Amino acid sequence: MNKGNIINSMQSSLTQSLESFGGAADMVRKISLLIFKKPDEPANILKQMVRVGVNSIPIVLLSSFFTGMVLALQSGVASIRLLNQPVFMGSLVAFSMVLELGPVLTAMVIAGRVGASITAETGTMKVSEQLDALYMLGTTPEKYLGVPLFIATIIMVPILTLIADIVGITGGYIAAVTNFDVPGSVYINEIVSYLKIVHVFNGLIKSAVFGFIIVTVSCYKGFTTSGGAEGVGESTTRAVVYSMIFILISDYFLSMLLNSLGMV
Amino acid sequence: MIEVRNLYKSLAGQPVLNGIDIDIKEGEILTILGGSGVGKSVFLKNIIGLLKPDRGSIRIDGVEAVGLKAKELAAIQAKFGMVFQGGALFDSLTVAENVAFGMKRLSSHSPEVINKKVTDYLSMVRLEGVEDKLPESLSIGMKRRVSLARSIATEPKYIFYDEPTTGLDPITTDVICKLFLDLQKKLDITSVMVTHDIPTAYKISDRIALIHEGRIAEVDTVKEFKNSANEYVRNFIDINTRVLKT
């Protein structure tokens, strides 16, 4: 590939990326204007909350419980090596879960489980002209699908994160007590002494932003799907990959922002 | 009445419509013929605002529809019903919910009246006892009839059919054709059908238009169209007749 082709290819990629960002921003603008108006189908919001939140509880419980246990196990082993005794296990598990692992792990699980399903569903509706049919029947994809999905995801991801925090800390408690004979009261006392409510809010703010990223990427990729069944598969894969990348990148900048606001 | 003037549309950099000029008269059944990929469906979608024309004018009942804002466009779209090629029924909703969908949003009927109308419209398209079924359990012919019921349920002035008989056996095609003619009489609507099925076009149309190279090559009554001197029209008819015979 010569220099000219490389530049053309880069220009084309940049244009496509900017068009996608512009398109996604326009979709978010339309949904933001509709979100405070009378919902198209109020029952849809509840339905999506069950789909995004309630149905994700088992996988969130499983992943956060074992993550908490592994955290306690590794931190216990490390502190025995360094200090000859398992110390600060409660605070280490709690801070790790509440500030980072709870929000990020939950967001990753939701991006894979719910984000993929949102893109597959809306993408299938796009290629089978169901989204076009919505315009002809007095509504729009943003109003009928976008609004309930945005409300459900932005509310349910922080709730799932809170559950993940609690379950992860509980997992850490069980690992600390059973593997290292740490008294339960010591583990809990460390958490109560050092963990502040502001830390929990820090994680919940992040998770709300992650929820916004997941639903924006998933809806946009679904609404702009083309190319039949193959196109739906491609959109779904991209939605999950992009969501995860944006979650990880935004996590760093959000952490910096929240730190600068004194929320740590 | 719909007046289309000098309509241009490109998709992915490829010109599809190259200056379409046509009038769609009130109460008629106009069939748009043309080979695959000539832009028949694109033409329909431009009229109903699902695609934005690159340039040109579309006047619907005297109102210029090109360049309207979303709210004004929605008011124009409410005048149309569209029967999509694959039916475009909402997979997660039952047949009854599909038919009621537009009525719930575009009419002021009470839920009881809507339920009654759902049954009426389904029997109008000769479907009974399917209210609680999901679209996946219906045949393609039944899906198109449910889609038709859903379209007429919003009491539109214009109904557009996108390839309504493609993929159907001759008997079901005949049933669908009779249904169109029956509804046309009962509902006093204007219909535009896009197809490449010439026998169906001859059977139900008042006028036929043929799209070639993004323009209207010919538009005339069925009788005049059959006897057209236009070379492309003659070729199109001859090739289709030969294909049907083999």
Structure tokens at A109: 């699980």
Q: What is the pLDDT of residues B64-120, one digit of tens each?
A: 999 898 889 999 999 999 999 888 999 999 999 999 999 999 998 999 999 999 999
CATH of domain B2-79+157-245: 3.40.50.300
Which residues fall within 8 angstroms of residue B49, CB to CB, at 6 or more apart?
A135, B65, B68, B73, B76, B77
Q: What ipTM was predicted for this assembly?
A: 0.89
Is residue A10 domain-resident?
A: no
Q: Is residue A15 part of a domain?
A: no
pLDDT surpasses 90 at A106: yes
Return the percentage of chain A with pLDDT > 90, whole number. Answer: 86
- Which backbone phi and psi does B181 adopt, to 5 degrees? -65, -40
**Rounded to a whole number, what is the distance in Å from the CA of B120 to chain A's nearest CA?**
18
- In this structure, is residue A193 part of a structural domain? yes
- The range of the structural domain enclosing residue A56 comes to 39-260
For B30, residues 6+ apart whose C-beta sits below 8 A from its C-beta are: B24, B190, B191, B192, B193, B205, B206, B207, B208, B209
Number of independent structural domains in chain A: 1
Residue A16 lies in a domain: no
User: B143-196, pLDDT tens digit by residue?
Assistant: 989 999 999 999 999 999 998 888 788 888 888 888 888 888 888 899 999 988
pLDDT of residue A11: 87
CB A195 within 8 A of CB A263: no
Does A144 reside within a domain? yes
Is residue A52 in a domain? yes
CB contact under 8 A, B50 and A135: yes
A28 part of a folded domain: no
Mutate to test the interface with A, among B71, B105, B152, B162 (most CBs of A within 10 A): B105
Q: For residue B32, give the 3-state DSSP assignment.
A: strand
Asked if residues A163 and A53 have their Cβ atoms less than 8 Å apart, the reply is no
Q: With beta carbons under 8 A apart, name residues in chain B contacting A40.
A: 105
Amino acid code (one letter) for A42: P
- What are the structural domain ranges in chain B? 2-79+157-245
A23 within a domain of the structure (yes/no): no
What is the DSSP code (8-state) at residue A38?
P
Q: Which residues of A lie inside 8 Å of B (Cβ-Cβ)? A: 40, 124-125, 128-130, 132-133, 135-140
The answer to whether residues B53 and B46 touch, using CB atoms and an 8 Å cutoff, is yes
pLDDT tens figures, A243-260: 999 999 999 999 999 999
- The residue of chain B with its CA nearest to that of A39 is B105
Residues in A closer than 8 angstroms to B105, CB to CB, are 40, 137-139
Q: Sort out which chain B residues have CB atoms less than 8 A from A125's CB and list them.
A: 90-91
Cβ–Cβ under 8 Å, residues B51 and B45: yes
Phi, psi of B210 (to 5 degrees): -120, 125
Q: How close B234 gets to chain A, by Cα (Å)?
A: 33
